[in-house]
Amino acid sequence: MAPIRVALIGLSATAKTSWASRAHLPYLLSPQGREKYQIVALLNSSVEAARAAIAEYNLPAETTKAYGDPDALAADADVDLVVCNTRVDNHHKTVRPSLEAGKAIFSEWPLAQDAAHARDLATLAHQKSAKTAVGLQGRLSPLAHTLRKILSSNRIGKVLSTEVRAFGGTMDRDRIPSGLAYFLERDVGGNPYTIGFAHAFDTVQSVLGDLDASSARGHFHLQRPKVTIFDPASGNVVETKKSNVPDLIFVSGYLEQGQGDIIAPQGAALHFRLRRGQQWPGEPGLVWTIAGERGEIKVTSPVAALQVGLEEQPAVIEVHDNATDTIEKVEWEWEDFQRELPLMSKNIAAVYEAFAAGTGGYATFDDAVKRHEQLESLLADWKA
C-alpha cells in the first residue's frame, strides 16, 4: 500500500522545541513511520518559512512542497492527510480549507478555540466524509490499555469511585515563559484547563467512561491572578500579566452507566482536583485511585500529563486486594514501535499507527466536540 501523503502545519525552523518537531516528526521520520506515511508538504506563515523548515529538518526539497497559504495547500491533490500543530486559535482557519477539499485531518488538541468552532469542523468533516483524528493520545497509551485490562478482568470488582489529585498545567505556579503567555487568556482556547487538565481528564474518562452530564459539577478558583512572564533564553522578567484562567480546578459527579459493565449499579463517584504548578517537594504530580468492590487500583505519576509522562520515572500501577490485604505492582510496557522514539512522540505514534490501520480507538472530531462541550459546560458559570 502506498504511504499516506502528509502535509505538516506548524513545523518551524525557529522553534525547534515545538510540538510538531518533538512529537510528530520523530515518528514520521522513523522506519515504522516511513512505511505508512510520507511528508510531502509543509504549511507555515509564509512560503519562505516553510522552505526554511524543510532545510532545517533535512526534508527532501525536491519532493516537499512549501506553502504559506491554507487555500493553496487545500488545492494540492497530492496531499492525503493534513496534520495541524499551530496555536489552538489558528486551528479552525488553518485546516478548514483542506477539510472543505475533503482531505483527512489530524489536529492537535484542543481542536479549536471553543466548542462552536470545533462543531463547525466536525459538521464539515461529516459533510465531506473526511477522516479525522485529534491528539488526545492518552487514550492509546499503554498505561490506559493496562488499566482497562485490569478492570475488564473483574480483579477489583465493579468500580465504586475514582479520585484524581494532580498538579501541573504549567511547570511553575508563579511564572510562565513568554511563548506560553497566551495560557493566561481564556479566549485563546489553549490554557492549563483546556490542555493540562483536559488531557488527564480525557484519559480518565477513556478508561472508566464519561462523566454523566446531569451530575457533573465544576468548582474553579483563581488563586494567583497576576503571573510573571519571563524570557526562557535569558531568564529575565518580561512583564506581569493578569490571568482569567482558573488555576485550581475541582470537578465531581457520577460516571455514566453502561460502561462495559465495570461500573457499580448505583453509579460510581468521580472527584478530580488539579492545581496549576508544582506539587509538594518529593510528592508525585498525580495520584489516581479507582476503588472497586473487591480491591483498589492506584496510579502514581511524577507528572499530571498522563498522555506523555516522564521517561526516567514512568507512572506506576498498583492493585490492592481487599481480602488478602496485599499490594501488587502491575507492569506496563511500550509497544515495539514506540521504544526507540523520544518520549513526546511515543503515544502520538500510537495515534498515527491506529489511523493508518483503521483500527480506531483514537479521538475523532466528534469526540473532540463532546470534550469541548463538557469542558465549557463545567466552566460556564465561572468568572475570573
What DSSP assignment string belongs to 192-231?
A: IIIIIIHHHHHHHHHHH-PBPTTT-EEEEE-S--EEEEE-
pLDDT in tens, 237-283: 999 999 999 999 999 999 997 656 798 888 899 999 999 999 999 99
pLDDT of residue 229: 97
SS3 113: coil
pLDDT of residue 258: 64
CA distance 19 to 9: 11
At residue 108, φ and ψ (nearest 5 deg) are: -65, 160
Q: Which fold has domain 4-135?
A: Rossmann fold (3.40.50)
At residue 40, φ and ψ (nearest 5 deg) are: -120, -5
Whether the bond between 110 and the residue before it is cis, its omega within 30 degrees of 0, is yes
Does 212 have pLDDT greater than 90?
yes
Average pLDDT over residues 1-12: 95
CA distance 225 to 256: 35
**Count of Cβ atoms closer than 10 Å to residue 265 Cβ:** 7
Report whether 305 contacts 198 (CB < 8 A): no
Helix H or strand E encompassing 238 = strand 237-242
Distances 336 to 246, 311, 346, 359 between C-alpha atoms, Å: 39, 16, 10, 18
Locate CATH 3.30.360.10 in the chain.
138-331
pLDDT in tens, 58-94: 999 999 999 999 999 999 999 999 999 999 999 999 9
* Burial class for 52, CB neighbours closer than 10 Å (0-12, 13-18, 19+): middle
Q: Grid coordinates standing for 40?
A: 510531502
Locate CATH 3.40.50.720 in the chain.
4-135
**Count of Cβ atoms closer than 10 Å to residue 37 Cβ:** 23
* Burial class for 306, CB neighbours closer than 10 Å (0-12, 13-18, 19+): buried
- CATH ID of 138-331, from 3.30.70.420, 3.40.50.1110, 3.20.80.10, 3.30.360.10: 3.30.360.10
Q: Which of 7-21, 26-40, 51-65, 207-221 has the lowest mean pLDDT?
A: 7-21
- Supply the pTM of this predicted model: 0.96
Helices and strands, counts by H and E, the chain = 12, 17
Average pLDDT over residues 96-123: 98
How much of the chain exceeds pLDDT 70, in percent?
A: 99
pLDDT of residue 75: 98
pLDDT of residue 259: 59
